[in-house]
Chains A and B, each alone.
Chain A
Amino acid sequence: MSVNEIAKSIKSIRFGLLSPEEIRKMSVVNIITADTYDEDGVPIDAGLMDRRLGTIEPGQKCQTCGNRVGQCPGHFGHIELARPVVHPGFAKTVYLTLRAICWNCGRILLKKEDYDKYVQLMEKYRRRWPQLRHKLAEKIMRKASKLQECPYCGREQFKIKFEKPTTYYEEHPEGNVKLAPSEIRARLERITDADAALLGLDPQMARPEWMVLTVLPVPPSSVRPSITLESGVRSEDDLTHKLVDIIRINERLKENIDAGAPQLIIEDLWELLQYHVTTYFDNETSGIPPARHRSGRPLRTLAQRLKGKEGRFRSNLSGKRVDFSARTVISPDPLISMNEVGVPIEVAKLLTIPERINKFNIEEMKKLIENGPDNHPGANYIIRPDGRRIDLRFPKDRKTIADSVEIGYIVERHIKDGDVVLFNRQPSLHRMSIMAHRVRVLPYKTFRLNLCVCPPYNADFDGDEMNLHVPQSEEARAEALVLMLVQEQILSPRYGGPIMGAIQDYISGAYMLTKKTTLLNREEASQLLISAGYDGELPPPAIKEPEEMWTGKQLVSLFFPKDFNYTLRANICQKCGQCKKEECPNDAYVVIRNGVLISGVLDKKAIGAGQPESVLHRLVKDYGTDMGRIFIDKAFKLFLSYIDSRGLTIGLDEEELPKEAKEKIRMVVEEAEQKTAKLIEIYNEGLLERLPGRTLEETLETKIMQELEEAREKAGEIASQYLKETNSALLMARTGARGSLMNLAHMVACVGQQSVRGERINRGYQNRTLPHFKPGDLGARAHGFVYSSYKDRLNPIEFFFHAMGGREGLVDTAVRTSQSGYMQRRLINALQDIRVEYDGTVRATDGSIIQFKYGEDGVDPAKSDHGKAVNVDKIIEKVVGAGVI
């Protein structure tokens, strides 16, 4: 075991300040030269690349520890600053401390009794509420800054002014006096250890004067390696550049002091040194210009290395790049199972799983080794028991290698059908964003996925890419299979309802298949069932003469469990006052008894994704996830086959309305126009009555908006009345497959009011939206009401208003995603480590209680019925309904 590998466990971490002595003690070299390398490329002694700081070139031994590149951790150097400078990170603390102490004797400005009280209080806090100590310190500092006279030495106190980032003034009656860092340091030095504790500092770890630097540590060269370009030119790291600046100014300052230069020059150089040290720590300090590279690019100094998305924490520690992963475009494949993912052969040949050879798989493994890295079920590497890796890319004769392997060897074989992999689409907003799938190796170059998993991933196929990861250990695979497999995720942990299910064509297909009018002859029915993978008997036909015919409902029923009972109102339900139940004219009352669909059609409510209380929900909850998966894999193929054979399409002429309907719509719209004109007239006469809480103008606006909205709705209603029952767009809207009646109305009747910021369009020119209108025109047309339908075509003015409204929508989505993304990030950072303990409490990692009972009722929403612990209606139906037909 080498030095680096000694197992250690961290008991506690303590943060403090580095004292000048400590900096000198850990330093291996005092750096005094701003140069790095001489002409021959040899590091200059006491320069920034001194060889004692550690080695960065391979083959070179470290001058300090004698180790080579990988082994030498690097060693700190130091710079003796000619004059002290304030550490920019503690500038605020320095200010607060200076305010609280006497400039003369360094005591905290508290009256004796107050002081004693706070000493006692601080001791009490230390014992009982250590977390609150800094709050008390703040209070003490605030109190101390109020005193005008030191109760110890009796000197008058002056107000201290702090100018960001590092300048301090004392407000004397004669005017402001700038405090030099040396003076500040002298004052901080006078603070006693006991007083420092009252100011919230632990004097053992952080003496106040250490906040003013007299010695600057120089990080090892391995922290700021220089790179040699191909042309042989050396390029230094940004940190080195900054350190060069610091040394250069420091040396000049030293020379000037030694030469006895005028105070003014010294102060200028001193300030410059402060600037360089400040930007060395943080080059984005507000109030000072960032230090720039010769090319004009701002330097990336210490704070920038750590901060933000590209910083050390978020990009190197919280997130890392991984092996055994793949990324490509996704495309749909309705024929594979929802548990599967289609993996291109090319990808399968690069991703491997280590498999140990045993007596059961040795023959198979030998075959894989023989196939090698370029033939699909093959292998890329063999690992011998002694740990040596054999690369199968190079040997010509893999047969001999295959013969030489024995039990105990490990083969890194290609992934093949049935292997478990993790599949992910960003943004990974919930746990269903990463699910385990079984591999299905397929030709071509895209990942293939079943359409039912689109909703949880929020995926579509307009160019989306997804990532795939291969778990390498048996434990990882087992865990993925049990916890993350797609079918285990059908029910959302958010409310216990299914989030996977039918979308778009599945719904249209299910509706058309289960419609009353759908009758299939023997050939058609057999064809559909075969495509769905059904291998049982055909049920007795619903119609025997003149030809044997089966209903769609009969076919779907074959896929329900035999004891399945269920009732629901479908999406197409018209919500008539008195429900006729089974006699529903729209066949919207779904009844399943003993696994037979007796009445009703299956549409979005019954099988749609994200629909609570749907057939899918009941199936998964009552019969298990396997049942759910099988139903989705089989019955859904039936729906697709049916829509494939029947066809579903929309055309321009289908969205044509009869003359009569058009006339009606025209009348409705005209009426609305007249009504708005009337409103405007009333307004102009000053007779309009104000609505509560609104101005007269706002009242008019709302009333006009209402009027026009109503008109659009009426137009839509008329349109849907006149559309044929067979209209495909109407079918899709009613079943919930895609689109809404409003979309349809936009196409055939009237597009309606366009809005920006929730109001009618009011922008553009003075007192009018476009020069085509009279100034002050309040009419519908002038403020973005689109009379035309998409099919009738929009006129240029309407088109322009429509574009305005459309653009706002686009901007909104762009802005919203970034905002909600950041919000989510902060929420997750705050919540990631809390958990529900076995006693039902919600606790943080230190055992502190956040909720005394999870959600106050202790119900796991993932296992609840839409948030409720029990669904009484369903239980009653299950018990009572089974016998009733």
Chain B
Amino acid sequence: MVKFDILKHELVPKFTILSKEEVEILRQTYGIRKEHLPWIRKSDPICKVLGAKPGDVLKIERNSEVAGKSIAYRYVVPG
């Protein structure tokens, strides 16, 4: 099997791991606990590539047909 960089695939949006401060700002803006974000498993390919650990928050920047650019977040959970 040839391994390739999934980050370079055109269908994979841009993922970044948020810093502690950024997470705090995110929590404040939405008034939530991290668990209230949608979850993503640690075993997800993108988490493996980025080395995200449970407790991290990922930021996803997507190009959207309706909104131009849309931003979503994922909370990394074990499993």
Contacts and interface: CB of A to CB of B under 8 A. Distances in A.
A27 interface: no
B32 A847 contact: yes
Interface in B62-79: 64, 66-67, 70-73, 77-79
A340 to B, nearest CB: 39
B4 interface: no
Contacts of A839: 30
B67 A129 contact: no
Interface in B27-57: 30, 32, 35-38, 54-55
Interface in A834-882: 839, 841, 843, 846-853, 855-859
A346 B69 CA distance: 60
A857 B79 contact: no
B28 to A, nearest CB: 12
A183 B60 CA distance: 54
A630 interface: no
Nearest to B36: A848
A457 B4 CA distance: 54
Q: Size band of the B side of the interface?
A: 10 to 19
A135 interface: yes
Contacts of B37: 848-849
A359 interface: no
B15 to A, nearest CB: 15
Contacts of B72: 851-852
B55 A128 contact: yes
Given A839-B30, A846-B36, A848-B36, A853 B70 contact: yes
A859 B32 CA distance: 23
B67 A849 contact: no
Given A132-B78, A841-B30, A857 B66 contact: yes
A129 B32 CA distance: 15
Contacts of B78: 125, 129, 132
Given A846-B36, A847-B32, A847-B36, A852 B73 contact: yes
A449 B72 CA distance: 47
A128 B75 CA distance: 12
Nearest to B73: A852
Interface string A267-299: 000000000000000000000000000000000
Nearest to A121: B78
B79 A132 contact: yes
Given A855-B66, A856-B67, A856-B70, A849 B79 contact: no
A278 B55 CA distance: 44
A849 B30 contact: yes
7 contacts: A846-B36, A847-B32, A848-B38, A852-B70, A853-B67, A855-B66, A859-B66
Given A135-B79, A843-B36, A849-B38, 9 more contacts: A129-B54, A841-B30, A848-B38, A849-B32, A849-B36, A852-B70, A852-B71, A853-B67, A856-B66
Nearest first, the 5 A-B pairs at minimum CB distance are A857-B67, A856-B67, A848-B36, A856-B70, A857-B66
